[in-house]
Amino acid sequence: MPATGIKHKPLSDALQRIEETLATKRRSPARSAAMTQLSLEADDDALRRNVEQALIAQLPLWENQVRGLPNPLARSALFSVARQNEPRQHLKERPITSVKGVEIFYTGEELRQDDEDVFLNLVHLARSQPLGHEVSFTAYSMLKSMGWPTSAPSYER
């Protein structure tokens, strides 16, 4: 079985693939048939909305106090535990240790535990939106939801 994993492609490429997948689902014959059948058998708007919502791709919903992270990312060394007062390294196509069968190559400023907290909270906020939709929030609400103080150093952090 070939290794799968996260490659060093721009985020915009991944977002484009998500949008293409969603567009394909919207045009799929199964969806068209389901909607045609629905319109023939029922005129109840609530039922029609439920079927349309079932065809939207979305992250799983989890409890508000919980944060979700794919297992291969959680078990990787993508987010380091280096001290905050040490300068961050700039990495270029660096292989990141992960679980068997997953390859991660990272380019950019070294990621640390604080970065993981922010990432987890962003995914948490995005879980209530269909994939590919914009997620809006304020810096203040982000700090509050992560349990960080709303002081100037936290905004910098």
pLDDT of residue 2: 45
Does pLDDT of 122 surpass 80?
A: yes
Give residue-wise pLDDT tens across range 16-28.
777 777 677 666 6
Contact in structure between 124 and 63 (CB atoms under 8 Å) = no
Give residue-wise pLDDT tens across range 27-81.
665 555 555 555 445 455 666 666 555 556 666 666 677 677 778 888 888 888 8
Whose tokens are 């994993």? That residue is: 5
Contact in structure between 127 and 68 (CB atoms under 8 Å) = yes
pLDDT of residue 149: 93
Q: Closest by alpha carbon to 99, among 74, 72, 79?
A: 72
Does pLDDT of 12 surpass 80?
A: no
Q: 130 or 11: which carries more pLDDT confidence? A: 130
Distance spanning both ends of the chain, measured CA to CA: 41
Q: 12 or 118: which carries more pLDDT confidence? A: 118
Give residue-wise pLDDT tens across range 36-48.
555 445 455 666 6
Of the chain, the percentage scoring pLDDT greater than 90 comes to: 9
Residues 6+ apart with CB under 8 A from 105: 6, 7, 8, 93, 94, 95, 96
Model confidence at 104, in pLDDT bands (50, 70, 90)?
confident
- In this prediction, residues 129-148 reach a mean pLDDT of 87
In whole angstroms, give the CA distance from residue 53 to residue 95.
Answer: 39
